[in-house]
Structure 1
Amino acid sequence: MKVHHLSVENSIVNKFLAEIRSVDIQKDAMRFRRNIERIGEVLSYELSKTLSYDSSGIQTPLGIKETALPKSDVVLCSILRAGLPLHNGVLNYFDDAENAFISAYRHHPNNDEAFEIVVEYFASPDINDKNLLLIDPMLATGKSLVAVYEAIKKYGAPKKIHIVSVIGSEEGVALIREAFPEETELWIAAIDPELNDKGYIVPGLGDAGDLAYGVKL
């Protein structure tokens, strides 16, 4: 798996990362969502450079301009609910893409720190022989993405998988490297060193879904 780690180089994405991590700035849910969206836009721009393009003649008022345009073979699939702001950012750039949504959440059967990933809902167009962009802002343990991948495989075989994420842990990245096809590419803004005993990324930012949409029961 090829990993594109944006924050190892200086760019405006580091400002957006700083703001979503800040305990003061992240109190503004609207700004938190917008910063996640903006990170999605930056990741999408970088990802777009790797897609296939066809030349097309564009009629202007004064002539015809040959322009390389991306093929329309992209499906965006976000993991509910935390993936929605990031999905919006990616959709801003791939605005003619097809869209899929899947639910995956941590279930604590014994009301302790141990959990399993439950996938209950999947709505999607045909994904066969298309570029599938799996969108999940927090790549913590990596178990959610693996469970999602196993569920999606029952519905078709994409041409290639791109994983789009905001912050991940080294452990999570290692897990998906083993679980996903070798040609998969990961587009991620930041990779943090560790997880705490609850499986949250450290230093991370907390619970992205709660920060974007409010605390859940």
Structure 2
Amino acid sequence: MKIHNLSLQNSILNTFISEIRNTDVQNDRLRFRRNIERIGEILGYEMSKSLNYKQKAIETPLGTSPIPLPKNDVVLCSILRAGIPLHNGLLNYFDKAENAFISAYRHHKTHSDDFEIIVEYLACPNLEGKTLVLADPMLATGQSLVATFRALRPFGKPKAIHLVSVIGAQPGIDFVEKHFDENVHLWIATVDEKLNDKGYIVPGLGDAGDLAFGEKLQH
């Protein structure tokens, strides 16, 4: 797997990362969602550099301008619900993309910290020969990305696969790397070193879904 860690170079991206982490800023839900969206735009822009392009002649009022345009058939797939703002950021740049949505949540069989990933809802177009962009803002254990990708297999074999995340933990990245082949790209805004005992990223930012949309009842 090819890993593109954007935090290895300083950019304006640092500002948005600092605000989604900062407890004094992140509780403004509108700002939190918008910052995740802006991070998605930056990740999408960087990812666009790896796509395939074809020259097209564009007619202007004064002549013709040859411009290389992306020719990939892109499908954006986000993991609900935390993935919605990230999805919107990617869609701002890939506005002609097809879209897929999938739910995935942690199911604790007992009161222990052990869990399994449950996939219940899935809406997806045909993926055969297309460029799949699978987006999940928090790459913690990596189990959600692996489980959702397996659930997408009946919809066809993509020609290319890109994973997009905002914050990842190194153990989760290592886990994902074992389950995707070497041609898969991971685009990630920043990487933290570890997970806590409950499988959450440290220092991370908390629960991205709750920060974006409000706390949910547990059942």
State the TM-score, normalized to the length of structure 1.
0.98
Find the counterpart in structure 2 of residue 81 from structure 1: 81
Structure 2 unpaired stretches of 5+: none
State the aligned residue count.
217
Distance 1:135 1:152 in 2: 13
CA distance in 1, matches of 2:59, 2:90: 28
List structure 1 runs of 4+ shifted beyond 3 angstroms. none
Aligned to 1:167, the other structure's residue is in SS state: strand
**What is the aligned partner in structure 1 of residue 197 from structure 2?**
197
The alpha-carbon deviation at position 55 of structure 1 amounts to 0.8
Show the 5 A alignment for 1:154-193. 154-193=154-193
CA offset digits 1:140-188 (Å, max 9, x no partner): 0000111111111122100011000000000000001000122000000
CA contact (8 A) 2:141 2:175 kept: yes
- Corresponding residue of 1:113: 113
2: CA distance, partners of 1:34 / 1:58:
33
Partner of 2:27: 27
Secondary structure of the equivalent of 2:11? Answer: coil
CA distance in 1 between partners of 2:182 and 2:4 (Å): 14
Uncovered stretches (5+) of structure 1, i.e. residues with no partner = none
| Cross-structure match for 1:214 | 214
Instruction: Render the CA deviation track for 1:31-58: whole Å, top value 9, x for unaligned.
Output: 0000000000000110000101111111
Amino acid of the structure 2 residue aligned with 1:113: D
| Offset of residue 122 of structure 1 | 1.1
Secondary structure class of the residue paired with 2:101: strand
> For residue 158 of structure 1, what is the amino acid of its counterpart?
P
Partner in structure 2 of residue 94 of structure 1: 94
Distance apart, 1:72 and its partner CA: 4.4
Deviations 1:3-27 (CA, angstroms, capped at 9, x unpaired):
0000111100011000000011001
Alpha-carbon distance, 1:214 to partner: 0.3
> Matched residues in 2 for 1:119 and 1:160: separation?
23
Q: Distance in 2 between matches of 1:8 and 1:212?
A: 26
- The normalised TM-score by structure 2 is 0.98
Amino acid at match of 2:10: N
Q: Deviations over 1:66-117 (max 9, x none)?
A: 1101114100000000000000000000010000001110011213321110
1:38-53 residue pairs with structure 2 within 5 A?
A: 38-53=38-53
Counterpart secondary structure, 1:39: helix
2:128 aligned with 1:128, yes or no? yes
Matched, 1:146 2:146: yes
Report the 3-state secondary structure (helix = DSSP H, G, I; strand = E; otherwise coil) of the residue aligned with 1:27: coil
Between the aligned partners of 2:72 and 2:203, the Cα distance in structure 1 is 38
- What is the SS of the residue equivalent to 2:120? strand
Amino acid at match of 1:100: A
Cα distance in 1, alignment partners of residues 4 and 92 from structure 2? 20
- CA-atom RMSD in angstroms: 0.7
